[in-house]
Structure 1
Amino acid sequence: MNENSQLRDVYDAVADPTRRKLLQLLADVEELPLHELTVHFQMGRTAVSKHLAILKEANLVIARRVGRETRYRLNATPLKEIQDWVSYYEGFWKERMVKLNLILEEKK
């Protein structure tokens, strides 16, 4: 399989709290090197790097080499898939709440 067909699922990538925190940190800045991201976690550089690799596989982060360090930045575009999915269920629950309110009003 080529690299594009082997992309990690965006839901899988954001399922872990450490990866969600990495995304949050990267959302607040243009880009950060690995050593600056690592200080926010109680784990080593290797573990943080593995989380970043998963985010990269899901196309949620973009890595750029600058000399000997790798700098990471957020690519929020794949998060639109999650937003669209959640939006559907938001409408689902709003509709149900309207119906429930109508039923409760009829009972008065």
Structure 2
Amino acid sequence: MPSQITLYKQIHPNQCTSLANLGFKSLINLRFDDEIDGQPKNCDLAASAKQAGLVYHNLPIDGESIHLIEVQSFAKLLSDTPKPVMVFCGTGSRAKRLYQCACISGLI
């Protein structure tokens, strides 16, 4: 079983069933659509997650500047989302920074 919160890089729709089989209950996507060419669309990820029985949320966050309101929204979403949860972005660094900000702020 995965840890309660996993921070990861971009996933693809065809991975959702495997993630559910590994024990994940939820996915949180931190990307905006069309950040880069060839990136999976949010709607495709959401449909695949639903088909796999996963709870799916899209919380697009700009990786260059993270604001307190975004950290608070993330912490609330993380608190309310069934665990284990995978939080992902393009490379994983945005997920890591956002999670660290929430921890440092005492929100999680």
TM-score (norm 1): 0.29
Q: Which one has the largest radius of gyration?
A: 1
Larger RCO of the pair (alpha carbons < 8 Å, separation 6+): 2
**Structure with more helix by fraction:** 1
TM-score (norm 2): 0.29
